[in-house]
A and B are shown apart, each in its own frame.
Chain A
Amino acid sequence: MVTIPAFLIVAVVIFGIGAVGVLISRNIIVLFMCVELMLNAANLALIAFSRALNIMDGHAFVFLVLAVAAAEAAVGLAILIAIFRNRETINIDRFDMLKW
């Protein structure tokens, strides 16, 4: 029998992979996708808990998280295009104009 903790372990593993990706990725598009991956892992945990407690509120949260993820992707990629237009690179080590 598949139990709820098995789903939670999968969610933790996926979240960990996303966190590793954010830290080690040097391609800003892959970095964005790793953030989305962590959001997805949180969604999976929300749905698993929703099933475990037999209430559907987690599904409403996941729906709102999906809307926020879409907004984040749109704004993030727009920022990326604006930066690329000025810098002609996607190497995140060069995006340091706010550093002093």
Chain B
Amino acid sequence: MINLDTIIFAISALVAVFGAVMMIGQRNPVASVLYFILSLVAQAVLYIQLGALFLGAILIIVYAGAIMVLFLFVIMLLNLRGQEDLGERGSSVGRFSKYLLVTLFVIELGMVIKSSVLPNAGITGISSMVPSDFGSVVGVAELLFGKYLYPFELASVLLLAAIVGAVVMAGREKAGDTPAAAKPESASGPGSVGGAGD
């Protein structure tokens, strides 16, 4: 039966896969980032269809907003235009073995889903009833500040460590430290640091 749920799912699933495929096919990294954002927005629609309203919003705001801007910022900082020398393609045997590896892996994942999930598919349509606070801010917050308080606090330590690490690695080096620090065009400094904090 074709209803609105099915149509929304089909369109957003196709857009998500299309964006992902186009992302790895682009030569210009800026186009790659934009296709990835398209894929992320479609995935956010899928999240919302599954009842994860808060996470759908977070995916667009944090991922498509903050993290992808960080990527774009680095692309601009490195002044990449898509005309870089990316070297020779690998040998055909090497490429074939990569595709073979991934195909086998995807088939394996499909078999796992087929054997363990599909037999129980009857009760799990997305139109089934869920509690009214399913996926809401309140529901997620009760979990994060109750049952998963310890992992949540550890995540804050992780983010702090990531900020310090990014500042140390990407920050401006002291004058005379290395030859690279003497060249003005290679200094990147504070800009990347500001983007690292999200």
* A→B interface (CB under 8 Å): 1-10, 12-21, 23-27, 29-30, 32-34, 36-37, 40, 43-44, 47-48, 50-52, 54, 56-57, 59-60, 62-64, 66-75, 77-82, 84-86, 89-91, 93-94
Pull 25 A–B residue pairs with CB atoms less than 8 Å apart, ordered by A: A3-B124, A4-B121, A5-B113, A10-B46, A12-B109, A12-B110, A13-B17, A20-B102, A21-B24, A24-B99, A26-B89, A44-B46, A47-B55, A51-B124, A56-B139, A57-B147, A60-B147, A63-B58, A66-B58, A71-B161, A74-B195, A74-B197, A77-B170, A85-B186, A91-B87
A-B contacts besides A21-B24, A90-B86, 15 pairs, CB < 8 Å: A1-B1, A1-B126, A4-B124, A17-B24, A20-B98, A21-B23, A32-B71, A40-B40, A47-B47, A60-B143, A62-B52, A63-B58, A77-B166, A78-B169, A85-B180
A27 to B23, CA, bound (A): 12
* B→A interface (CB under 8 Å): 1, 3, 5-6, 9, 13, 16-17, 20-21, 23-24, 26-27, 29, 32-33, 36, 39-40, 43, 46-47, 49-52, 54-55, 58-59, 62-63, 66-67, 70-71, 74-75, 77-78, 80, 84-87, 89, 95, 98-99, 101-102, 105-106, 109-110, 113, 117-118, 121, 124-128, 130-131, 134-135, 139-140, 143-144, 147-148, 151-152, 155, 158-159, 161-163, 165-167, 169-170, 178, 180, 186, 188, 192, 195-198
In the bound complex, residues from chain A placing their C-beta under 8 Å from that of B74 are: 29, 77, 80-81
Contact A70 B67 (CB under 8 A): yes
